[in-house]
Chain A
Amino acid sequence: MKKSGAEIFLECLKKEKVDTIFGYPGGAVLPIYDVLYKADMRHILVRHEQGAVHMADGYARASGRPGVVLVTSGPGATNTVTGLATAYSDSIPMVVFTGQVPTALIGNDAFQEADIVGITRPCTKHNYLVKDVKDLARIVKEAFYIATTGRPGPVLIDLPKDVQTAVTDFSYPDNVDIPSYQPNLKGHSGQIKKALKLILASERPVIYAGGGVISSNAAAELTSFVRKLGIPVTNTLMGLGGFPGDDPLFMGMLGMHGTYAANMAMTNTDCLIAIGSRFDDRVTGKIDEFVPYAKIIHLDVDPTSISKNVAVDIPIVGDIKNVLKVMLKELTGAAKFKRSIKAWRTEIDGWAATHTLSAKQDKKKKIRPQYVVDRLYALTKGDAIITTEVGQNQMWSAQFYKYKNPRTFLTSGGLGTMGYGLPAAIGAQVAFPEKTVIDIAGDGSIQMNIQELATAVDQKLPVKIAILNNRFLGMVRQWQELFFDKRYSSTCIGNKPDFVKLIEAYGGVGLRAKTPDEVDNVIKQALKITDRPVLMDFVVDATEDVYPMVPAGQPLNKMLLV
């Protein structure tokens, strides 16, 4: 059947079972928007293209399905770059379509022309310029395949305007055939055997699990593996939710703002089992003194992650879910092993008891931000999807909310993008209309994509925003306090705007808590609202810092404690 490029675009998305597009129109995508006008496809009109990409990202992280974005050429396309880099850092599957000037004009500095394929090459898993409408269906098929397989990531497709209007026979390919792209999903069985042997011979094992567990949907396998062997677990920021945060074997997050127990366990372990984690510098601290006594097993789908920062003893390249299944099948002697490492677990419990994270609130003092997160946890019974901005708010959200399930903690871990949380929350709410979705925000970050409140109001999405309002770019202020002699250069942003009035102006609900007594009430009121966004402005103590803290470049056991 003959179809135009714009119609083919829509048909391909339907074949990929896409139900929602996050987008913003412009001259170079008018033919597609014209097709969408009468199409049976949800389109979420955003207020800034960066917002669209973070929404698609939040949608993808929450649901596991790739997010889809549509924007125009030039400035529309360049506005997607931060969102793409964010998704690329955290391996989030998405397909972004950008309009482009007609093929005849490409390279002529035409109006609203940007070389978006060139610009985004280093921040996409792959990208395409479609030069002929005949290639369009194949390219879309490939793009979804590449975005969602192996180590997932964003893929961009640049669609010149004349390709959108050109007509050709349409048929959607059943399979992809990319000989040069063959991710290795099955772990090497010899390596798996070696790994099991090493684990069973260890005395002080630790599992250090990252975002790979979540992207490969391996939380259930990880949990049963851990429970069989009784090995203590720590998660990276990206890994939170990949193992139940309320399990007695869970030590909390590790790294720069990790718990005392997790970082001490890392320092003393003799067998580190890294699962879907990539030895980021925020996790390792000083690399030469990282896990000084350990043999390392590393399980990851991406060969480039292995031995990149830290040399490992037993690498296993493969899909984590697959590999863990095989490990579970081959595992023998688990019960005996579990008993044998009792002493190690007691030692860890001892560390955990000496330095616990405290959300205690003196009712006569200013609101502590940690207390707010703790109350959000209690009053949502740990069942909300939490997104965060970047900074102290992000770290407290990681420390004080316990994530029981994967895909319930959405944060920009790799790139650390302020302005991520609100659009990501909107995306997650689109994917799960019935769930409670809360963006735990800083008063700085929230202003980076605040315009998306209009999108949430338009779409009647009841996203909740909890601003831990400290009138500072708090995390930067903390570094200035600790490492720059309290010279607070350009980090005091002051008490503005009035966030309650601001959200009211957009058509949402604003609430404020100034004292500890008001916190619960504000949260309870917010949780009742189901038809529009609500913003909770928590006026918190500006002097609170995130602890423990491993200063950059120090080994993990050199923590600053409260």
Chain B
Amino acid sequence: MDKGVRHTISVSVVNEFGVLSRIAGLFSGRGFNIESLCVAETLDPKVSRMTIVTTGDDRILEQITKQLNKLVNVIKVYDLTGEEYFERELALIKVNIKQDTRTEILSIVDIFRAKIVDVSPRSYTLEVTGDENKIRAITELLRPFGIKEIVRTGRIALGRSPKAK
């Protein structure tokens, strides 16, 4: 079956014990896939905002949004795909350094507007923020130097239109 298009869905939920597992359970129980999921409190401490990245054809996406809406703790579901929105992800990357590779790595850091957050004799730890392509690009460039560890936050997104709130 055609896996369909990737969608970024923004979900506001009541910030309550167990909500995350309700949502995760909904996806696993119905065989929907989650590529990434981010969740944190909003300005209103009673409400959390999740950004879920998933793929599926129109019918699956319709089911995902409806099923999410059906959960008692879900306040609002908004599929950002197909309209203007910003998407960001943060990655922490620990990369090997040697005498002769430092400058090259530093210039990559510079070009990508990354930051060095920690230095040790054998590695730098970089922080980089951007959309998926940017994270992928810097990872590819750093890979030849030896990436010891990488951790990514998963994507968060915000729509431009007021409706998307």
Contacts and interface: CB of A to CB of B under 8 A. Distances in A.
Contacts of A180: 13-14, 72-75
B35 interface: no
Nearest to A181: B72
A352 to B, nearest CB: 36
A489 interface: no
Given A304-B66, A307-B62, A121 B21 contact: yes
Contacts of A551: none
Contact of B66 (A131, A146, A179, A303): A303
Contacts of A306: 66
Interface in A90-135: 117-118, 121-122, 125-126, 129, 131
B73 A302 contact: no
A308 interface: yes
The number of chain B residues touching the other chain, given as a range, is 10 to 19
A87 B124 CA distance: 57
A178 interface: yes
Contact of B72 (A122, A178, A304, A307): A178
Interface in B41-78: 59, 62-63, 66-67, 69-70, 72-75
A308 B21 CA distance: 23
A125 B72 contact: yes
B98 to A, nearest CB: 48
Nearest to B70: A304
B29 interface: yes
The 9 closest A-B CB pairs, nearest first, are A180-B75, A304-B66, A126-B72, A181-B72, A303-B66, A122-B29, A304-B67, A304-B70, A121-B25
Contacts of A302: 70
B22 interface: yes
Given A146-B72, A180-B72, A304 B63 contact: yes
B90 to A, nearest CB: 29
Contacts of B13: 180
Contacts of A118: 18, 21
A85 B69 CA distance: 21
Contacts of B69: 303
A212 to B, nearest CB: 15
For B29, B66, B73, which residue has the most chain A Cβ atoms within 10 angstroms?
B66
A304 B62 CA distance: 8
Given A179-B75, A180-B74, 6 more contacts: A126-B72, A129-B17, A178-B72, A302-B70, A307-B59, A307-B62
Contacts of B22: 121
A172 B127 CA distance: 53
Interface in A179-210: 179-181
A308 B14 CA distance: 26
Given A179-B75, A180-B72, A307-B59, A122 B25 contact: yes
Contact of A121 (B14, B18, B63, B74): B18
Interface string B1-44: 00000000000011001100110010001000000000000000
Contacts of B59: 307, 311
19 contacts: A118-B18, A121-B21, A121-B25, A122-B25, A126-B72, A129-B18, A146-B72, A178-B72, A180-B72, A180-B74, A180-B75, A181-B72, A302-B70, A303-B70, A304-B70, A306-B66, A307-B59, A308-B63, A311-B59
Contacts of A117: 18
Contacts of B25: 121-122
Interface string A219-244: 00000000000000000000000000
A179 B66 CA distance: 17
Contacts of A307: 59, 62
Interface string A285-307: 00000000000000000111011
B136 to A, nearest CB: 35
A409 B17 CA distance: 39
Contacts of A126: 72
B120 to A, nearest CB: 38
A304 B59 CA distance: 11
A126 B69 CA distance: 13
B66 to A, nearest CB: 4
Contacts of A122: 25, 29
Interface in A418-444: none
Contacts of B63: 304, 308
Interface string A161-186: 00000000000000000111100000
A117 B63 CA distance: 24
A178 B72 CA distance: 8
Nearest to A178: B72
A303 B17 CA distance: 26
Contacts of B70: 302-304
Nearest to A142: B72
Contacts of A121: 18, 21-22, 25
A382 B80 CA distance: 55
A102 to B, nearest CB: 17
B51 to A, nearest CB: 18
A180 B75 CA distance: 4
A139 B66 CA distance: 25
Contacts of A304: 63, 66-67, 70
Contacts of B17: 129, 131
Contacts of A125: 72
Interface in B73-95: 73-75
Contacts of A129: 17-18
Contacts of B29: 122
A302 B59 CA distance: 16
A146 B71 CA distance: 11
Nearest to A118: B21
Interface in A41-83: none
